[in-house]
Amino acid sequence: MPEPTHTLTIAELSSNADSDAFRTLNEAWIEQYFTLEDEDRAILGDPVGRIVAPGGAVFVARSDDEVIGCIGIMPVGERVFELVKMAVSPAHQGHGTGRKLIAAALDRARGLGARRVALESNSALASAVHLYEAFGFRHLDHDEIAPSPYARADVHMVLDLV
C-alpha cells in the first residue's frame, strides 16, 4: 500500500490552540538540549503580546490538522527583525517543514519592509545552523554580536535583505 499523503500548510497563529502548540513544540526541543530560560518563558507564554502585537508574526505548520512546527518573526529594531522560536516536531523533521517555515517568515519580513533579519542559535543544533546558512544567513563577527538574553546562544547570524 502506498503511504498516505499529508498536506502541509503554513498559516499565521490564529487560536489559543495554535499558541499552546507554539509553546509546547518549543519547550520540548529547548528542554531536550538546554534549559528553559526566562526569555523563553516570556515569549512562549505570550506569543501574541511579545511577537505579533509589536508588529511581527508567528506561523504554524500543519500536517492535516496537527500543528507540527512553528516560527516567529519579531521586530527588534528599525526595519530589523529576529527569527525566533523555530521548532518542528521530531517525527516531522527532515521533510522540509523548517525550510517552509523560514521561507514564510522571511517573506513576511520583506513584506514588513525589513532590511535585516537576525537570529540566535546554538552550535549543537548543526542542522538548523546549516539550514540558516542555506538561506544566506551569515555568521556575525565577534565585534558585531549584541548581548543576548540566552545563555545558550553561541551562534549569531544575520541576513541582509536590501
Domain layout of the chain by residue ranges: 8-160
State the pLDDT at residue 3.
59
118 in helix, strand or coil? strand
State the pLDDT at residue 77.
95
Nearest residue to 161 via CA among 118, 131, 120, 130: 118
State the pLDDT at residue 51.
98
State the pLDDT at residue 1.
61
- Report residue 2's pLDDT band, with 50, 70 and 90 as the boundaries: low
> Are 84 and 52 within 8 A, CB to CB?
no
Nearest residue to 128 via CA among 50, 39, 33: 33
- For residue 92, give Cα distances in angstroms to 31, 61, 87, 115: 18, 10, 10, 31
| CA dihedral (20, 98, 80, 158) positive or negative | positive
How high is the mean pLDDT of the chain?
Answer: 95
Phi/psi for 135 (5° steps) reads -85, -5
- Report residue 6's pLDDT band, with 50, 70 and 90 as the boundaries: confident
Phi/psi for 15 (5° steps) reads -155, 165
State the pLDDT at residue 162.
84
pLDDT per position as a tens digit, 61-104 = 999 889 999 999 999 999 999 999 999 999 999 999 999 999 99
- For 8-160, CATH number out of 1.10.357.10, 3.40.50.300, 3.40.630.30, 3.30.450.20 equals 3.40.630.30
d(CA 134, CA 131): 5
pLDDT per position as a tens digit, 136-148 = 999 999 999 999 9
- Locus of grid cell 516570556: 42
